[in-house]
Structure 1
């Protein structure tokens, strides 16, 4: 699921928590992410107890109640706000077994900027936090992707204007066409043809926003030979016709 409730980081700290550290019972008006780097802690979030250890990521939504204590823990804590508290960040209270090694350089960079507070530091920290959130929300689920899946996606994105078939892709990858299609469907929960169509429509939307081509030209530039099929497909996916989409972006691109 795509997360579009854009976050704004308001606080960052990397700390060692002794046995004296605790969070008293309170409802928070921000979101809190805690990356446990070593040790352990006990949280109560919305009356549910959690024992967290190294490699766990704690996510506490705005409006939630929290209590915490530890016998010793090193962690990174990031507080942030979201545009709409009714659309929470799509993470459970605790995500376990997260490989934190690829997050460490980002933590270090944010810490460096946050403590210096040179000109533009908030903008840079926000960009780094966005990358952390991306990795947490999406990349953790993509680590074990088959190289075949990556190859299929790469080829489609680079050749979406052309006539792409499952048979052609399977031949390029030296796979059985049926197996090729089944592998992609199992991994991506959509068929190869559905992925091709989505890439083409996304590109068409970009071209329509630029307003440099008419609808027929956009259809041809994105691999659609039939303008009526293109229009119907665009409307089915984008919920508006190509012309309506183009007109709705009349003043958005200079």
Structure 2
């Protein structure tokens, strides 16, 4: 078997990095984020993965698909540890793919839709279709006679097609399941629509309860029951989503963006933005614009 141990980025493939990590005993990982996409395939063992505010227990055969700018770290759950094959690549590599159809590319990953979980676990018959291209890339990467960039990208494309097919199946299943569930109550649907239209206003539980003539405590309980989030967290999350778009698509300065999405304190906006996104608004703008320029 090929000895992959701690592979490094090849100079001729600066946009593509592959390595094997073996972690056990007292190993610890700090939080990190990067502008590249990361694919983390668990070769053996088990552990725990944190991606922003969610945690996932993983085992051999699991795959994590981590979009750019997502805070993440891994953690041991026992002394045995785990071994993982990690592939990191820039979104700009899509220009070199032989196949560029959206369903076969990386748009699902870049958009990071709520329907798509970063943690994938495969059936017995699907697992080889994921593992084979992963291992093929690892073996090609350390080929003694030199590796072929075309081979690596072709294998990566095959892997992405399989990932997208899994996502498509998950989304179809999720939507079918959701159709069987109770939809948002009419009053919560109305309130969400109002939030989307008036997110710049000073929205509070008391004010929304008054506008919709509903008891504040009842509104608080129903909103959490329907959406899984507190009213405050939902409003804040929507504001930050709008702010991210403004930072990338307009020339508004950070203060203008903050006030434009409903924050009246720039320091608080910076704190909330960094807490949710993992970086300050200025760094997010810089990294996002740099990434777009590299992709051109």
TM-score, length of structure 2 as denominator length: 0.43
Structure with higher helix content: 2
TM-score, length of structure 1 as denominator length: 0.50
Could you say which structure has the larger radius of gyration? 1
Structure with higher strand content: 1
